[in-house]
Structures are given as C-alpha cells and as structure tokens.
Amino acid sequence: MPKVIIVGAGLVGALNACYFAQLGWDTEVYEYRSDVRELEENSGRVINLTLAGRGRKALEGVGLKDEVVRHGLEITHRLVHYVDETTKAHPIARPGEVRE
C-alpha cells in the first residue's frame, strides 16, 4: 500500500488526507500547533469560516459535504467595516443559493 505524509492539518491538509485515505493510501497527518480544543487558555479569538461552492464541491468529493453543511449556518450578507467606523451589510447570496 502506498504511503503519504501530510504536513499541516489545516483545511487543505485534512481534505487531502481524506482523499488519499479513500484511495487506500496509508495516510499520516502532522500538525505543529496544539489542538485548540485542549488548551487551558483560550485567546478569545474567533475564526469564522465560510463554505463557498468550490469548498462544497471538494467536500462532496470525499463524501462530507452534507455532514459539514448540516453543522453550519447559512449566511446571506457580510458586514463590511469601513475606516470611518461605519458598517454596511452586503448581500452574498439569496437564501438557498450557492454561488460558485
């Protein structure tokens, strides 16, 4: 069985690990950073991720799209913060619409 070592367990590394594993490869993933879920101190930072059409297609390729989408929230606007401290909501898509 072929073997692949993936360095970096971010979005791309994790997705590649799924692809190789489904092809029957012996897959190992290494990540430098600690698992943030296990840290005693939390920086308070929030990382928001959006899943556009290309991301949905990639997840569909490994059979995970429906599961990931089920845990997410649909967004229809993004809030832009301007230098003058004003904000404006800009539409991203209509409800249920997926843009590529």
Residue in 39, 9, 3, 33 with CA at minimum distance from that of residue 21: 3
Spatial separation of the C-alpha atoms in residues 74 and 94, rounded to whole Å = 10
List the domain boundaries for the chain.
1-35, 45-100
pLDDT tens digits, residue range 10-63? 999 999 999 999 999 999 999 998 877 777 776 666 677 888 888 889 999 999
- The DSSP code sequence of 2-22 is -EEEEE--SHHHHHHHHHHHH
**What does pTM read for this prediction?**
0.68
Cβ proximity of 97 and 76 under 8 Å: no
51: tokens are 């899943």
> How many angstroms separate the Cα of 10 from the Cα of each of 26, 77, 82, 92, 93?
19, 26, 30, 25, 26
